[in-house]
């Protein structure tokens, strides 16, 4: 039940935030939140992380579906390890959020802008947080 709640919450937050940002900002328009630190900038990312492999939509869709299937089975087979399941659930939610964008639009909607880092979204954050904690768990030998 916990994985389902995590995925539902993160996926909802991701899709709702993308909907509102897309409705309020024009493409490439920025709205500073803390001057020089963080703002909102609407970007259509047609690549992977940092915009690499631009316009490879089908590759990203196939890779996304494959990752989602593998993560699902990872969650299903490790229900006894709560930390591992939480990490995989975060990664799954992020993968689903970005896959939905690619299927709907052919690109991923990004909007969180720290100015010193490429623009990203809630799904990207969930993937990153899940992956960092998963690496930490594996490094500590808790899997």
Which positions are annotated as active-site residues?
110, 124
Place of tokens 């990153």: 128
Give yes or no for a contact between 75 and 4, defined as CB atoms under 8 angstroms apart: no
Count of Cβ atoms closer than 10 Å to residue 61 Cβ: 14
Place of tokens 């935030």: 17
For residue 29, the Cα-to-chain-centroid distance in whole angstroms is 21
Give yes or no for a contact between 49 and 126, defined as CB atoms under 8 angstroms apart: no
Q: Rounded to an integer, what distance in angstroms lies between the CA atom of residue 68 and that of residue 92?
A: 6
The strand pairing partners of 31, in sequence order, are: 40
């Amino acid at each position: 039940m916990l994985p389902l709640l995590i995925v539902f919450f993160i996926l909802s937050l991701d899709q709702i935030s993308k909907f509102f940002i897309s409705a309020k900002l024009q493409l490439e328009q920025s709205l500073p939140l803390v001057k020089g630190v963080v703002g909102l900038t609407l970007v259509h990312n047609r690549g992977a992380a940092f915009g690499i492999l631009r316009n490879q939509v089908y590759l990203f869709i196939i890779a996304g579906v494959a990752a989602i299937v593998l993560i699902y089975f990872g969650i299903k087979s490790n229900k006894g390890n709560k930390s591992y399941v939480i990490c995989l659930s975060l990664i799954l939610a992020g993968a689903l959020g970005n896959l939905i964008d690619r299927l709907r639009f052919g690109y991923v909607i990004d909007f969180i802008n720290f100015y010193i880092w490429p623009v990203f979204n809630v799904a990207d954050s969930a993937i990153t947080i899940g992956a960092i904690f998963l690496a930490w768990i594996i490094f500590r030998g808790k899997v």
